Amino acid sequence: MRIAYVVPDPYPTNSAGTQRVNGIIVALRSAGHEVTVVSPSAPPTENVDRPWSTADEVVFLSESPRHPDSRLGRGWHGLTTGAAAQKRLVEAAPRPNVVILYGTRLSYLMRLRRSCQRLAVPLVVDLVEWYDPAHLPGGRFGPFSVANAAAMRSVGSASGAIVISSFLEEHYRSDDFPVIRVPPLMPDEPGTASGLTGRGGSLTLSYVGFPGRKDAATLRSLWELDRYLGDDISRVKVEVAGITAQGAASLLGIQGPSPAHMHWHGRLDHSAARQLVAGSDFVVLQRPEARYAKAGFPTKIVESLWMGTPVMANNSSDLAAYLVEGFNAASVEDDSPGALARTVRRQLVEKSSFERAAIQEAARRDFASSRFTDVLSAFMEQILGDSRDTSRR
């Protein structure tokens, strides 16, 4: 089967989106399917360290905003882009058997839906989140919020969906709309983890990612640990990659210098970020009891477990199905700073040990692309078969 995977975001990059797409591609290619990624990005230039792709081919469309330095120009581009991908699919020879659209960018969804209907090619939406309107440019009543709401309502007009969480699965599944739930997948083999974590008299905690408002709670809790731990803060070191101290202070609305226990690395390449995770006692993540947290699935948790590093996290999304207290996780009650501080203090006192090799082995069972090869292939065959049945009527 020939599959076109349309990725509106820049690809490939050091992002959860690229990780998601690559993981699914590995599963599909392992079943013998041919996968081409259609990306708006420009082709990588020489001597540029860009992450790898797992696709058979990547078609770079070089579709960029006319006024990239203008916020209005970027915003308009975000709402209207997709023509180049639509043109590519219409003119492709041979034609793909199935098209997958990553995410719910409204302009792409509407364009691809029309073209796929005209070409009698099924369209599958890969759903990975449900944005909080307040987190989008322009806020709750801005154009991005309106477009996102329209896109989420329009998903059912596609031929089916791959969803990242049980929340999205329950929301979209129906008798006439096939849905398959696939968590974040890891397409590569991790290095072998060994040893124990958490047994010493100190702790190294880390956060790795590109935090926006959805992870502000985590950054605030880490920043304020000294307020709750008192003298014990001298036994805690926090490593943060993906944002600077100034960026975090701006995000949190904090004035004044960063606390001494916080160490900032800014943006790191993928290998350096993984080394930071592997060298930590715990990766930390807190998210609130909100729809966007239920609908998504934090890739950074999967990557941490994949490296054999346990996590400190509250049970947002589907994490309760994968995190086990004392085995691969130290549970946090909620998304408040005090809750994280209590968990940190508990680890400092109890000095619990976590077996990294066992954590990694469990992650391989849960999140390896190979585990989903058969079910994803069967799902795509079902989608194609349903489409052919419909076209014969």
Tokens representing 97 are 């058997």
The burial class, CB within 10 Å (0-12 / 13-18 / 19+), for 41 is: buried
Closest-CA residue to 368 (of 126, 167, 189, 135): 189
Answer whether 2-185+369-392 and 196-367 agree in fold.
Answer: yes
Which sequence spans correspond to the domains of the chain? Answer: 2-185+369-392, 196-367
Superfamily name and number for 196-367? Glycogen Phosphorylase B; (3.40.50.2000)
Pair 156, 177: CB distance under 8 Å: yes
Predicted local confidence at residue 128, as pLDDT: 94
Q: Give residue 367's pLDDT.
A: 97
Task: Report d(CA 113, CA 103) in Å as an integer.
Answer: 14
Please name which of 50, 52, 56, 9 lies closest in space to residue 28, comparing C-alpha atoms.
56
- Those residues of the chain that have pLDDT short of 50 are 47-48, 66-67, 392-393
> What sign results for the dihedral spanned by CA atoms 36, 381, 102, 286?
negative
pTM of the model: 0.90
The DSSP line for 301-313 is HHHHHHTT--EEE
The number of beta carbons lying within 10 Å of the beta carbon of residue 63 is 17
Instruction: Give the three-state DSSP class for 391.
Output: helix
Dig out the tokens for 183 from the structure. Answer: 């968590």
Backbone angles phi, psi at 161, to 5 degrees: -145, 145
Q: What is the pLDDT of residue 212?
A: 76
pLDDT value, residue 191? 62
User: In the CATH scheme, what is the homologous superfamily, with its name and number, of domain 2-185+369-392?
Assistant: Glycogen Phosphorylase B; (3.40.50.2000)
Q: Do 28 and 380 meet the contact criterion of CB atoms below 8 Å apart?
A: yes
